[in-house]
Amino acid sequence: MSACVLDTDVVIAALDRRDEHHARASAAVTAWIDAGTDLLLSLVNYAETLVRPAENHDTMRAAIEALTALGIRLVAPTPAIARDAARYGDRTSASPMVSPSRRRRAMVRASRRSTFACGERFLRSAWSWRQRCPELQR
């Protein structure tokens, strides 16, 4: 079984019909579910996903229920994942940081199976759909 480490952008786009990438993200999530791909979401990204829904109790509940219904598995970053991500962090800025893509890559490396990451670049480019998940092309 393969797995996909989802980024906040992909999850928000899949859940929010007003998002410009909703159709692409929801089609991708549906295809991954149909293919039996394990969908993983870091707790950091889970919190980011819920920021806007948290403005309203009912919207927050609906978002949580949708994530549960999709079968997205929440993953707590471990100290090993954090150290791996830190190795590739941005040391050039005034305040060093680990980018979301680096955090996703660290989670991918920590997984012991066929895993890929999907973030904002996935939503914006046609090539990533074909390269990262050719088995899902229809």
Of the candidates 54, 63, 110, the one whose C-alpha atom is nearest the C-alpha of residue 82 is: 110
Q: What is the predicted pLDDT for the residue at 14?
A: 92
Q: What is the CATH number of the domain that holds 49?
A: 3.40.50.1010
97: tokens are: 């940081």
* Mean pLDDT score across all residues of the chain: 75
Domain count, the chain: 1
68 CB-contact burial (10 Å; exposed 0-12 / middle 13-18 / buried 19+):
exposed
More confident residue, 41 or 101: 41
Is the whole-model pTM more than 0.85?
no
Count of CA atoms in the C-beta half-sphere (13 A) of 73: 12
> pLDDT (tens digit, 9 = 90+) per residue, 60-94?
999 999 999 999 999 887 788 777 777 766 666 65
What is the three-class DSSP state of 21? coil
Structural domain harbouring 110: 3-136
Q: Are 133 and 30 in contact (CB under 8 A)?
A: no
